[in-house]
Chain A
Amino acid sequence: MLGIVRQKMLGQSLLKIRPAISVLRSYSSAAKQMTVREALNSALDEEMSADPKVFLMGEEVGEYQGAYKISKGLLEKYGPERVLDTPITEAGFAGIGVGAAYYGLKPVVEFMTFNFSMQAIDHIINSAAKSNYMSAGQMSVPIVFRGPNGAAAGVGAQHSQCYASWYASCPGLKVLSPYSSEDARGLLKAAIRDPDPVVFLENELLYGESFPVSDEVLDSSFCLPIGKAKIERKGKDVTITAFSKMVGYALKAAEILEKEGIDAEVINLRSIRPLDRSTINASVRKTNRLITVEEGFPQHGVGAEICASVVEESFAYLDAPVERIAGADVPMPYAANLERMAVPQVEDIVRAAKRACYRVVPLAAAA
């Protein structure tokens, strides 16, 4: 059913040929809504259709249609040779995926969540990420490791960690994290086409969220550049960087801030490694204030790197200290009230932005 709808959309898009760089305008001319799940599914489908070397491997990706239904319909369409259900052996199947990539295939390896990627992290880092360098270019590893990352809802400490900063610190890897359906489609396609290993961090809670998508986004040739952030909301008073689910929170915070006279610029990082330092720095040079937002643990997080980058490149432009909003420095608790406190909320971002703008109301003052 989705296929037929897509066929119609493709037909329409072929009639109006627009350059791919117009993706920044996508919100303005959007007519169709698409969930992140549909976006990922369609991207996988199209890339598997376009290149017979692309195959999908992971737990429950085939007959179960995907633990989160991201790979729905793919087994039926491409068969068991290209959509492979693996046993629960991450180290084994991640290694097999990397070996297949060495030979020239283009594996998409799914981790049911990135928490389980720790079982296979040696293959991601030592077998995949470093091989191109260690072999002086002989070994190219065109593999994508994808799956949900970060907190879900009530899944507890062992199933809620964000791995963005861990993977992004490693040279040889590319690390992407989409927010919207457009991000999901464009970045997954870019990841699959990329000759280097890519860690693709999705978010379970975003899978069901719907976003408007333009015709360019729906076209099968659509692709987003790796290493470019997107300014989701232009502003002039404070820069807020975020990725994945936190982009939505940052946008909500920006709406609240607008009512209070603070015009926030929200940057959707899209790419954690390489980090779009120039977009971030250009924004900070304009606003002079920076809040970084991430879900993961605060120490050595993505925000720490962004802060260092801004201090290195745009120190003179800062009018306030850079503040990092991150998850709490505890393993994720289970109880709903504790979990709420362990993950950044919209109010945390609003308060931080106000602090950066020196708009904090002192506790003593009652006016």
Chain B
Amino acid sequence: MALSHLAASASRSSSLLKPLSSALSLRRSISGDNSPLTVETSVPFTSHQCEAPSRSVETNPKELLTFFRDMALMRRMEIAADSLYKAKLIRGFCHLYDGQEAVAVGMEAAITKKDCIITAYRDHCTFVSRGGTLLEVFAELMGRQAGCSKGKGGSMHFYKKDSNFYGGHGIVGAQVPLGCGLAFAQKYSKDETVTFALYGDGAANQGQLFEALNISALWDLPAILVCENNHYGMGTAEWRAAKSPAYYKRGDYVPGLKVDGMDALAVKQACKFAKEHALKNGPIILEMDTYRYHGHSMSDPGSSYRTRDEISGVRQERDPIERIRKLILSHDLATEKELKDVEKEVRKEVDDAIAQAKSFGADRKEVRATLP
């Protein structure tokens, strides 16, 4: 907090002193460069059965600007999905991720597309961070053939196998043993890669999770279990569902780390640490302390079990996009206007993708599977 306050005042004074043109030439371009930058995470990591990684995260302007853009895109995409659902263009279930974007982008920054990710049904943003396009997202949500699952899956069943994204699962907790199975296969194939199996605080109490964790620990599988703790399992607060809501400790003999999930850099650091750990020592649990602005799904307003003050409080104090914005501005990597322009750009991208998705007729013919 103190650091950003100082940084903010520095940038104000610097822009007053410099004329606009020289300010432009002194500053790098909006796309940023790779010159290293070290940033401290918002809070230190809390660890269980292991030594926490350092709070100092190595990053660079390009990465920060990419974080901003990607998260802004995801935010815009989810809000647009909200409108489409209310317009009845999206049917059934629609679980939105806005507020949790930092987990998706931070994780991606720490790994490669050869590492596997598997998650539950709140999967739109994870799909995008694995390389899925906006068109594939909106077309799938609207049941069109151009969707990533050709309209056959829907919101909960996005997959992108070519970048090792294995869905997209509707049954709470099922994705955890599946993710441990991916890790098993990675070890079997000697690929030196890892799997991130994401689950929520609601799923954290599932028996199959502990069954899979037991086997993963016995067989030293490179499995990283990531609890996206947004503190509510549908309408049930964590303290009502879990005797011990310290999810990073629930692995018992399996080490764990508690991470500020609203801080993309902390997420990146934790995932990097976890990957190194898992390749050497087997499973590890990461608990991402995060928050969803929407309710559990579009049929849940999200305000019957949470106060509006709580929601707006998180938005003001911990929003992941705002954090990166402040960081970028304080390090003078872009101007406010440039960042606003990025937001306008992504908004347009989202609107264009929706228009394109709508232009495809709803599929009436049987879609031939893409199997050989």
Assess the B214–A92 pair: CB atoms within 8 A. Answer: yes
B186: CB under 8 A from chain A?
A: yes
Query: How many contacts between A and B, using CB within 8 angstroms?
Result: 137
Assess the A137–B185 pair: CB atoms within 8 A. Answer: no
A274: CB under 8 A from chain B?
A: no
Q: Which of B153, B183, B185, B218 contacts A136 (CB 8 A)?
A: B153
B16: CB under 8 A from chain A?
A: no
Q: Which of A55, A95, A132 contacts B180 (CB 8 A)?
A: A95
Closest B residue, CB atoms, query A81:
B188
From A97-105, A208-216, A236-244, A328-336, the one touching the partner chain is A97-105
Give every chain B residue within 8 A of A99 (Cβ-Cβ).
118, 166, 177-185
Assess the B174–A134 pair: CB atoms within 8 A. Answer: no
Give every chain A residue within 8 A of B167 (Cβ-Cβ).
131, 134-135, 139
From A33-41, A83-91, A110-118, A309-317, the one touching the partner chain is A83-91
Name the interface residues of B227-283: CB closer than 8 Å to any CB of A. Answer: none
Q: Which of A87, A89, A96, A135 contacts B181 (CB 8 A)?
A: A96
Assess the A134–B214 pair: CB atoms within 8 A. Answer: no
Assess the A102–B182 pair: CB atoms within 8 A. Answer: yes
Assess the B215–A135 pair: CB atoms within 8 A. Answer: no
Size category, A interface: 35 or more
Name the interface residues of A312-356: CB closer than 8 Å to any CB of B. Answer: none
Q: Known: A92-B214, A134-B153, A135-B167. Is A98-B208 also a contact (CB below 8 A)? A: no
Assess the B157–A122 pair: CB atoms within 8 A. Answer: no
Give every chain B residue within 8 A of A137 (Cβ-Cβ).
369-371
Assess the B214–A138 pair: CB atoms within 8 A. Answer: no
Give every chain B residue within 8 A of A195 (Cβ-Cβ).
371
- Expressed in whole angstroms, the Cα–Cα distance for A93 and B178 within the complex equals 9
Give every chain A residue within 8 A of B174 (Cβ-Cβ).
95, 122-123, 126-127
Assess the B211–A89 pair: CB atoms within 8 A. Answer: yes
Min CB distance A334 to B, Å, is 30
- Expressed in whole angstroms, the Cα–Cα distance for A94 and B207 within the complex equals 13
Min CB distance B159 to A, Å, is 4
- Expressed in whole angstroms, the Cα–Cα distance for A184 and B160 within the complex equals 36
Assess the A100–B153 pair: CB atoms within 8 A. Answer: no
A27: CB under 8 A from chain B?
A: no
Give every chain B residue within 8 A of A92 (Cβ-Cβ).
177, 180, 208, 210-212, 214-215
Give every chain B residue within 8 A of A134 (Cβ-Cβ).
149, 152-153, 157, 159, 167-168
A140: CB under 8 A from chain B?
A: yes
- Expressed in whole angstroms, the Cα–Cα distance for A364 and B52 within the complex equals 88
- Expressed in whole angstroms, the Cα–Cα distance for A135 and B149 within the complex equals 5
- Expressed in whole angstroms, the Cα–Cα distance for A40 and B344 within the complex equals 63
Q: Known: A134-B152, A136-B150. Is A95-B159 also a contact (CB below 8 A)? A: no
Across the A-B interface, the 8 shortest Cβ-Cβ residue pairs: A99-B181, A95-B177, A92-B211, A103-B185, A89-B211, A136-B150, A99-B178, A137-B370
A binding-site residues for B, Cβ under 8 Å: 55, 81, 84, 86-87, 89, 91-105, 122-123, 126-127, 131-140, 195
